[in-house]
Structure 1
Amino acid sequence: MSDRVLIVGGGSVGLAAAVFLTRHGVTPLVLEQQPGVSVHPRATGLGPRTMEFLRQAGLDRAVDNVAVDMSAGGAVKMSMHTLASANLSAAAPGAIVGNAWGQADPGPARVRGVCPQHRLDSVLLPAAREGGARVRFSARVRECAIESGGVTVTLDTGETLAADYLIAADGVRSTVREHLGIGVSGPGALGEPTVSILFRADLTAYTGGRHFVNCTITNPDAPGLLVTVDGEKEWIFHTRSGDISSVTEHFTDERCRELIRAAVGDSALPVEIVSVLPWRPRGTLADRFGLERVFLVGDAAHTVPPIGAFGLNTGMADAHNLAWKLAAVLRGDAGPALLDTYETERRPVAEMTLAQAMIRLADPTLHWDAHAAERRAAAGALHAPVVHLGYRYDSAAVIDPQPDLPSTEDVFADLDGTPGSRLPHHRLPGGASTLDLIGTHCTVIAGNHRWIAAASDVADRLGIRIDAHVIPLSDNDIRPWADTVGIEPDGALLVRPDQIIAARIPTAPPAPAHLLHRMLTRILAR
């Protein structure tokens, strides 16, 4: 029996891909080589676009509930000799570096603090299973092959599995990518080898109940980065490992405890070592994001240095982009050529994101300093909200795209209704966002009911579902939003299931059904 979609890799991006697919009625099989979800988080920051994906999947509140609550305030990034040397309850303003998003909110969803990956996975795994996805742990893929009309993978047990399509979410050392012979480019390994120590210790005596995302420790006896996991008793300490042959031999539990105590500034601190992992920042970009029926997502497609929280969030966007396209093709709503737009759209975004991370790696203050606009412009750095939300797609699945960004600093200027950009957010009467109007099919947002009839007519002719919503574009409350997106009261937007504007129709043509039919035929590669 052949599955429709196999996902190799059951980390956060693989599980997210499974969740997004199940929303569209596709129930994948996920294969993860580890015996369970990782307890050692590699990322903690969820960007606003990722939270919009989770909101669309009905999971934003569940994820927010497992995040560390920083809504009462705290530091984003600090730098201290030791944690004990800081009085966090009365930290000097200069010791706290913020990355302000401004007073206005560009989206409807924001996490209240950091959300380490194992907490995110605690929501994604049950959600994927509840949607019908099957998740198999301790399933190591030995090889894969593209066959006529499908894909096969062979596990190290000798078991062979077949599917119509395969999503490779199996990380930086992707077995799938290597078997397909897809190369990578980019700077590769960056900086010194590092060790990540996950530990438990009660640090409330030194935090004073105040949260921070991370704290650079400058103590020469234990230089490194202290990262919040739960903000109370669970933490990660990153420190240089040097060129060693074995992390296990050199970073024993006792050695790790010594480093952590020196970093905190408490030689008697009780410390429980949970996990120790070697790692090294990398910057890579796969030469291709897909080959026939196989698609790379997350670290299998790109690795990004950790500054800016770009890596995981870029992978989540990969999964969200690919899911609706696979589902549309499997339903017969779209032609296979729609899947070509996955690489066309996502690879340039990943390339841009990697470049932005590299600029920040050379000067992190370009990211953390909200007042560094002039220096960012000089360095070619986009403001963080623009990286997370402002990117635009240029592909056959967009009508009249304009990929160049009008602003490197103001994300609102980039979210202006241009085809290829994310639908601008606006609160509608009752509290819903315009983004909440977008479900699992292409959607028409219009100012009058002529478009409802046109959408119904085209849906019947194409044999697909098209959602349509009429909102009063001439009302005083809605008119500024309509002006922003560039449509008149009788105009319309055609929006894809990933909340990306596929086409903008400023004013109604004489035959809206004819125009809509022509646009959807192109977008869906019919």
Structure 2
Amino acid sequence: MTPIPHTSNVDTPILIAGAGPIGLILAYTLAHRYSVPCTIIDRYAEPTKWPKMDLTNSRTMEILRMVDPTLVEELRREGVDGKWRFDVLFATGLGEEGECLAKWDLDSANEWRERIGRENDGRWTREPWLRIQQSILERVLRGRCQRHPLITFLAPVNVDYTVFHPATEEQGAYCKTTLSSADGSSTMTSIYVIASDGAGSTLRSTSTRIRSHRLPPAPPVSLVHFRSRDPTMLKYGRFWHIFLTHRGICIAQDELDTYTVHLFHPPPNTNASEEIGSLPAEEIVRRVLKADVRIDEILVRSVWKPNFAVADHYSEDNLFLLGDAAHQWAPLGGYGFNTGVGDAYDLAWKLAFTIRGHAGPRLLESYEGERLQVARMCLERSWRHMEVHLKAWEMADRGEKEGIGAWYTAEKGENENLGVEYGWRYRDSPVISYSNEGGEQKDGNEDEDEWPWTPEAVKPSTRPGCRAPHVFKKDGETSVLDDLATGFTLVRFTCVDITPLTRSASRSARGIDVSLLSLADEPHVRRVWGNDIVLIRPDGYVAWCGSTIPSEDECRKIWDRVLGWTEDVRVERDAGRSGWGEEVIKASELDNGFN
């Protein structure tokens, strides 16, 4: 492994503020996958005790497998058993007069895994999804980070602010962060600071460059976590979620006795408005379920507001935003946590390659360009999912119960929009070579009609900017993704001479090693992948593809681009578009600021 240069004058190469799931995944990926030391701090000594998020989608599980297969094995042992389905119900209540109006039939993890192996056509991920509470996920991740020799874990510690110091002749650029704890104030120097400190990010608020755009916040939501073994909870059989027609949601957290209910309150100043904080937890449960359920234990009662916000920039100098510090939306579809994991996985390899001297300045700059387009798409889709429920609740208010079932049956994309989860393509990236020959660069949009994106479907492809498709090889057990290296991997399906590409990597791309994966005897994988030669980035996305290897000079241009050493020349897209042909929320509908 290449030594990390220019770190002797700082306390840690990378300081991560915030040990929620996303910060922990970034720290573990840096240390375990890339052998980059880091420090992570958090204001809480212990992980959260509350369930919070409950869906780890299939792309996130695929990412975590590439980070560390043993992590995925541990999470599956700790999470909900893979035999239980993800069915979503829509009902008027759980009482005697309650009626189930519609149902989304969603496969269990075991059923999904069987389909992945049976169809093996590139449309599916390497791993199925997983139901796991955030409290369990954080405990597992914290334990691994605290035990890892390259991770320094400090808690409880608060981050106050950070100051960027530009490079001088004697010292490279660095950040000086002020911390506080029960022992008093201290400072820590690092090359980079990662703001993973949540929706109310302290570090984001100190930035003079970073602002955000958001929809006006929705009315508040009362939340209650509770335990109950009352058989009334299973009036319609086992379920994952139940959406109630009177603005309520019930989530089965563990298929045992733990549930979460959300009560969406009417907007302020309406006839139905009331003092939200005065409602007892038991009353909230009763209002959501429309039934007098026996409650064994109240775990927590709180109030939250669904925010829809995306930062206009993800970085300032050497400060980078991550997770909820960068974007927020309602948890419908599970896009918040899972998009944050994608952010962390993208940022990890770019930090690792930059800090080891392999990459130019464009590589870290591309974190914003690539991930911001994903966030804008998720903002639009999350709002769309919210609108589906708002319309159903309005129909219920008008007494149109008979139309609610048909409405939900037609609008079932919330947990089936795989195109949103992993079927998209990075377009306009300054570190992806869209030219098959390495010459004049295109912007990745020239074939939009030929390769259209839709929220519902995944079209497997190895076009530049696409996620490399999972396909099992002839043995039926090994995925092509299992054979990818932690660095760049050159996959070839022919016996073409690759010397110009590998030699130019060591000469012009700051001495990186390129792993070769020859699959000439895997015709089915070749049919799915669709290209003879494919260069895969460390995060599993296609950096370049072709049918032949260009000259060494052209190969050098490819490497200089994908590693961020060249100036980016591209056509800027309309800022009001997500990059997939979908209109994002218009600027006129957005407010400034997260708070």
Q: Secondary structure at the match of 2:472?
A: coil
After alignment, is 172-181 or 368-377 more displaced? Answer: 368-377
1:12 aligns with 2:46: no
Once the 2 structures are TM-superposed, how far is the Cα of residue 204 of structure 1 from its aligned partner?
A: 5.1
Q: Which residue of 2 aligns with 1:196?
A: 223
Once the 2 structures are TM-superposed, how far is the Cα of residue 340 of structure 1 from its aligned partner?
A: 0.5
Q: Which residue of 2 aligns with 1:76?
A: 88
Q: Which residue of 1 aligns with 2:140?
A: 123
User: In the TM superposition, what are the counterparts of 1:66-105 in structure 2 within 5 Å?
Assistant: 66-73=78-85, 75-82=87-94, 95-98=102-105, 104=119, 105=123
Q: Which residue of 1 aligns with 2:213?
A: 185
After alignment, is 445-454 or 37-46 more displaced? Answer: 445-454
Unaligned ranges ≥5, structure 2? 1-9, 167-172, 393-403, 435-442, 566-595
Residue by residue over 1:395-430, the C-alpha shift from the partner in whole angstroms, topping out at 9 and shown as x without a partner, is 1110115254513156332x3111011011111133
Paired with 2:527 and 2:54, the residues of 1 have a C-alpha distance of: 36
User: In the TM superposition, what are the counterparts of 1:462-473 in structure 2 within 5 Å?
Assistant: 462-472=510-520
Unaligned ranges ≥5, structure 1? none
Q: Which residue of 1 aligns with 2:11?
A: 2
8 Å contact from structure 1 (residues 283, 304) kept in 2: yes
1:398 aligns with 2:398: no
Of the three residues 37, 41, 44, the one matched with 1:31 is 41
After alignment, is 25-34 or 169-178 more displaced? Answer: 25-34
Q: Which residue of 2 aligns with 1:173?
A: 200
Of the three residues 382, 387, 408, the one matched with 1:357 is 382
1:47 aligns with 2:95: no
Q: Which residue of 2 aligns with 1:429?
A: 474
Once the 2 structures are TM-superposed, how far is the Cα of residue 224 of structure 1 from its aligned partner?
A: 2.1
Q: TM-score, normalised by structure 1?
A: 0.86
8 Å contact from structure 2 (residues 496, 548) kept in 1: no
Paired with 2:256 and 2:331, the residues of 1 have a C-alpha distance of: 23
Cα 1:199/1:72, change in 2 over 3 Å: closer
1:481 aligns with 2:525: no
Cα 1:49/1:144, change in 2 over 3 Å: same
User: In the TM superposition, what are the counterparts of 1:283-302 in structure 2 within 5 Å?
Assistant: 283-302=308-327
Cα 1:61/1:366, change in 2 over 3 Å: farther
Cα 1:49/1:366, change in 2 over 3 Å: farther
Aligned residues: 499
Once the 2 structures are TM-superposed, how far is the Cα of residue 245 of structure 1 from its aligned partner?
A: 11
Q: CA RMSD in A?
A: 3.3
1:516 aligns with 2:522: no
User: In the TM superposition, what are the counterparts of 1:404-423 in structure 2 within 5 Å?
Assistant: 404=448, 406-408=452-454, 411-413=457-459, 415-423=460-468
After alignment, is 156-165 or 449-458 more displaced? Answer: 449-458
Paired with 1:477 and 1:348, the residues of 2 have a C-alpha distance of: 32
Once the 2 structures are TM-superposed, how far is the Cα of residue 201 of structure 1 from its aligned partner?
A: 2.0
Q: Which residue of 1 aligns with 2:546?
A: 505
Given residue 97 of structure 1, which amino acid in structure 2 is its aligned partner?
Answer: W
Once the 2 structures are TM-superposed, how far is the Cα of residue 77 of structure 1 from its aligned partner?
A: 3.7
Q: Which residue of 1 aligns with 2:73?
A: 61
Cα 1:501/1:479, change in 2 over 3 Å: closer
8 Å contact from structure 2 (residues 323, 339) kept in 1: yes
Once the 2 structures are TM-superposed, how far is the Cα of residue 514 of structure 1 from its aligned partner?
A: 4.7
Of the three residues 319, 338, 360, the one matched with 1:313 is 338
Paired with 1:108 and 1:49, the residues of 2 have a C-alpha distance of: 8
Q: Which residue of 1 aligns with 2:535?
A: 494
Q: Secondary structure at the match of 1:146?
A: strand
Once the 2 structures are TM-superposed, how far is the Cα of residue 85 of structure 1 from its aligned partner?
A: 6.4
Cα 1:324/1:240, change in 2 over 3 Å: same
* Percent identity (aligned): 25
Q: Secondary structure at the match of 1:517?
A: helix
Paired with 1:176 and 1:443, the residues of 2 have a C-alpha distance of: 36
Q: TM-score, normalised by structure 2?
A: 0.76
